[in-house]
């Protein structure tokens, strides 16, 4: 029995009893023992989930699928993907001697810190969703992130599951020579386009530097691409999603129909990643389909609140994610209001210039009546919208409680987009406002 | 009146929302009834640079910057001709560095740059990267104002004789330095992203006036409603405790 572990576990239980989660136990653990995470005896199956967008959703879909298949599974379901969050997760699910009390662990890991924790977590599987431009002040350039992940997977002998439709992601297959590589891909479907105004990456072949050729784009630089010169991108997917049907909310893999979780293109990719993991584990995909049909992800991913009228909240943190959320919001019917919370705390990234790389002109539909700008950088957001001709519909309410209250008072359906640190606060405010 | 803008390497040098600067210039010109043409120019594309009133070059990631390097140096004569003809220049971050003498990378390799100005840039170690919100006091063409932006650069730019402004908060040309950017009669060069112009409309107008000068001499621009612009700048100036 380790006394430091006990202290961490006690603090976790105390906080839970007080109705609070949070990362304090992990902070405490790493302060007492910087090597804390490496002390655990990990379960037989350890699946790490990383990438820029969709980590939390994918993590939950995988973990819930395993549970539905009767496998005892732990995961950091809220997306606490930094060292402290992972330390808290492990401590909370360990006995007094660092033995994890589960058969599988699914762990979302921040793509910037993955290289530090990779070996400590003894992964059997690594799944990489996508790499988009994200919080450059915090993340640095994407090249660094990819290079570091390539370095730590160079001698990895487990399974690597890659989004075969992202040229940044499949670079890992070129460098991880000892791993068992599995790709997932999504076939052309009603939202696919021959050209794009969204892609800022994936223009050049990482092997030879020549331009990549795209047969079609799904969103941002995700799509079917190849290099004419050296064949980069000509993958053979283990899981190929076909017949995506947004009206029936379903898709097909190898002749079997699945419910389309979230019914968006990025949701389909998250499902495809999950199904590829199941395939490598030999788990019946029926377990996943049950999850896709019934699971509700809270934590601000298309999360519904009942104010005077329905209110749906989504996390935004980079241009690609924001673009996809805006496509979803503008595809809805009827008059509605919108509220954007833009913060610039540490976890949001201090640099808010990314809003100029996102396609806010999409919000220029007549059914969007008012766009409330709130948060620490509310005026930066309002100014951005001014440049899309939305000035007359913009209303700045810097204070978050007042902004949510205003939405509730209008008696009109509403949509909220919030950056990371605004998300959790806003959800708490929404819960209170629901009770009014 | 008509204004022709050349947006260099729009598809490669487009980090940190720098394209927002183009939107600001275009909108503020059009609001004054000035017809605004924005042409882009990428690798291997032929463009007569001296035909343009304003030359814009933003920042890029290391990889992109390497891709454009040779192409840009090949355009030196065209750029020089544009300078002689009175074209105005707005250069951000990598664009700023590339107009100096050279860039020395972390391994000590020296990359000769366009060499129009005396300054040069040396890569810093990781501990001296200049990242964060920044505020300046700048004087452009006779008017003084406060500017805000976001800097994110490893390069330390030295030997700048005529900086754009005095740093009120942030780093500037070097880690914890006193001055930021480079300024002469035609060129505004800076590390400031944000993007630079939306929250600094007075700077945008100065650049427009410089660009128009080539064909129309001294032009007065009508005042615009900058309430949101001023408010967004003020929020940051207060946060940085400079007002």
Overall domain count for chain B:
1
Tell me the C-alpha distance between A409 and B16, whole Å.
37
Question: CB-based contacts of A16: which residues, under 8 Å, 6+ apart?
Answer: none
Tell me the C-alpha distance between B212 and B34, whole Å.
10
Strands B102-104 and B110-112: antiparallel
Chain B CB contacts of A391 below 8 Å: 228
| pLDDT tens digits for range A201-235 | 778 898 998 889 999 999 999 999 999 999 999 99
Longest Cα separation, chain A: 64
Chain A CB contacts of B18 below 8 Å: 353, 356
| pLDDT tens digits for range A269-304 | 999 999 999 999 999 999 999 999 999 887 888 899
Question: CB-based contacts of A332: which residues, under 8 Å, 6+ apart?
Answer: A413, A415
With beta carbons less than 8 A apart as the criterion, state whether B96 and B63 touch. Answer: no
Give me the residue from A137, A377, A396 closest to B131, CB to CB. Answer: A137
Strands A250-253 and B187-190: unpaired
Residues of B forming the active site: 93, 193
Please compute the mean of the pLDDT values over residues A66-75 and round it to a whole number: 97
Query: Helix crossing, B19-31 with B201-216: angle to 10°?
Result: 60
Q: Which of B31, B228, B239, B240 to mutate to test the interface with A (most CBs of A within 10 A)?
A: B228
Give me the residue from B20, B27, B62 closest to A141, CB to CB. Answer: B62
Q: How confident is the model at residue A103 (pLDDT cuts 50, 70, 90)?
A: very high
**What CATH code is carried by the domain that includes residue B164?**
3.40.50.880
Helix (H, G, I), strand (E, B), or coil: what is residue A345? coil
Which residues of chain B, if any, have pLDDT below 50? none
Chain A CB contacts of B127 below 8 Å: none
Please compute the mean of the pLDDT values over residues A67-94 and round it to a whole number: 94
In this prediction, residue A181 carries a pLDDT of 98
In this prediction, residue A23 carries a pLDDT of 77
Query: Helix crossing, A3-17 with A24-32: angle to 10°?
Result: 170
In this prediction, residue A136 carries a pLDDT of 61
Q: Which of A92, A37, A25, A68 is nearest to A287 (CA)?
A: A68
In this prediction, residue A2 carries a pLDDT of 84
Q: Which of B27, B42, B61 to mutate to test the interface with A (most CBs of A within 10 A)?
A: B61
Residue span of the structural domain in which B74 resides: 2-100+107-239
In this prediction, residue A3 carries a pLDDT of 86
In this prediction, residue A380 carries a pLDDT of 98
| pLDDT tens digits for range A250-266 | 999 999 999 999 889 99
CB-CB under 8 Å, A357 with B17? yes
| pLDDT tens digits for range A392-423 | 999 999 999 999 999 999 999 999 999 999 99
Total-model pTM:
0.87
Distance (Å) from the alpha carbon of B149 to chain A's nearest alpha carbon: 9
Q: How confident is the model at residue A1 (pLDDT cuts 50, 70, 90)?
A: low
In this prediction, residue A425 carries a pLDDT of 92
In this prediction, residue A138 carries a pLDDT of 57
With beta carbons less than 8 A apart as the criterion, state whether B93 and B59 touch. Answer: yes
In this prediction, residue B15 carries a pLDDT of 78
| pLDDT tens digits for range A134-167 | 766 555 678 888 999 999 999 999 999 999 999 9
């Amino acid at each position: 029995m380790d006394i430091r572990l006990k202290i961490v576990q006690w603090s976790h239980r105390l906080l839970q009893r007080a109705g609070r989660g949070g990362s304090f136990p992990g902070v405490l653990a790493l302060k007492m023992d910087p090597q804390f995470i490496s002390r655990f005896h990990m379960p037989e199956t350890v699946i790490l989930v990383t990438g820029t967008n969709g980590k939390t959703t994918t993590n939950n879909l995988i973990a819930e699928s395993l549970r539905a298949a009767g496998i005892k599974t732990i995961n950091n379901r809220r997306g606490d993907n930094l060292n402290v969050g992972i330390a808290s997760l492990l401590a909370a699910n360990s006995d007094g001697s660092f033995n994890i009390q589960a058969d599988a662990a699914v762990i979302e890991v921040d793509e910037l810190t993955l290289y530090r924790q990779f070996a400590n977590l003894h992964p059997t599987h690594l799944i990489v969703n996508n790499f988009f431009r994200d919080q450059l002040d915090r993340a640095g350039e994407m090249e660094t992130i990819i290079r570091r992940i390539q370095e730590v997977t160079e001698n990895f002998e487990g399974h690597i599951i890659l989004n075969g439709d992202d040229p940044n992601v499949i670079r890992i297959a070129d460098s991880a020579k000892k791993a068992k590589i599995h790709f997932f891909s999504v076939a052309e479907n009603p939202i696919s386009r021959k050209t794009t105004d969204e892609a800022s990456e994936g223009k050049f072949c990482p092997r030879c530097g020549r331009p990549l050729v795209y047969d079609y784009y799904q969103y941002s630089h995700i799509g079917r691409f190849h290099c004419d010169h050296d064949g980069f991108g000509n993958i053979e997917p283990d899981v190929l999603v076909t017949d995506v049907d947004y009206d029936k909310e379903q898709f097909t893999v190898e002749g079997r129909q699945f419910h389309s979780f979230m019914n968006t293109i990025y949701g389909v990719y998250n499902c495809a990643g999950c199904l590829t993991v199941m395939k490598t584990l030999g788990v019946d995909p029926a377990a996943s389909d049950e999850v896709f049909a019934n699971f509700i992800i809270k934590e601000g991913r298309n999360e519904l609140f009942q104010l005077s009228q329905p209110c749906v909240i989504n996390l935004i943190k980079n241009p690609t994610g924001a673009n996809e959320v805006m496509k979803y919001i503008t595809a809805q019917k009827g008059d509605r209001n919108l509220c954007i919370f833009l913060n610039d705390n540490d976890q949001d990234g201090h640099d808010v210039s990314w809003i100029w790389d996102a396609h806010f002109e999409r919000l220029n539909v007549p059914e969007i009546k008012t766009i409330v700008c709130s948060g620490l950088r509310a005026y930066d957001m309002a100014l951005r919208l001014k440049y899309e001709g939305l000035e007359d519909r913009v209303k700045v309410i810097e204070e978050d409680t007042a902004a949510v209250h205003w939405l509730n008072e209008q008696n009109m359906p509403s949509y909220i987009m919030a950056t990371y640190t605004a998300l959790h606060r806003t959800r708490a405010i929404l819960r209170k406002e629901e009770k009014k | 009146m008509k204004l022709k803008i050349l947006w260099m390497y729009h598809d490669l040098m487009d980090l940190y929302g720098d394209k927002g600067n183009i939107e600001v210039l275009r909108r503020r010109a059009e609001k004054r009834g000035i017809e605004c043409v924005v042409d882009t120019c990428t690798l291997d594309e032929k463009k007569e640079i001296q035909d343009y009133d304003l030359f814009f070059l933003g920042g890029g990631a290391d990889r992109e910057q390497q891709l454009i390097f040779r192409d840009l140096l090949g355009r030196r004569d065209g750029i020089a001709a544009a300078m002689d003809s009175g074209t105005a220049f707005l250069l951000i971050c990598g664009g700023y560095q590339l107009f100096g003498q050279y860039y020395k990378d972390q391994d000590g390799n020296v990359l000769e740059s366009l060499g129009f100005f005396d300054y040069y840039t040396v890569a810093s170690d990781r501990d001296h990267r200049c990242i964060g919100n920044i505020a300046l006091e700048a004087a452009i063409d006779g008017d003084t104002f406060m500017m805000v932006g976001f800097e994110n650069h490893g390069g330390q730019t030295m030997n700048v004789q005529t900086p754009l402004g005095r740093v009120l908060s942030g780093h500037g040309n070097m880690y914890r330095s006193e001055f930021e950017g480079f300024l002469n009669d035609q060129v505004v060069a800076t590390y400031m992203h944000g993007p630079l112009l939306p929250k600094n409309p007075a700077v945008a107008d100065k650049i427009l006036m410089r660009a128009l000068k080539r064909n129309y001499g001294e032009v007065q621009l009508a005042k615009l409603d900058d309430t949101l612009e001023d408010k967004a700048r003020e929020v940051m100036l207060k946060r940085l405790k400079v007002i």
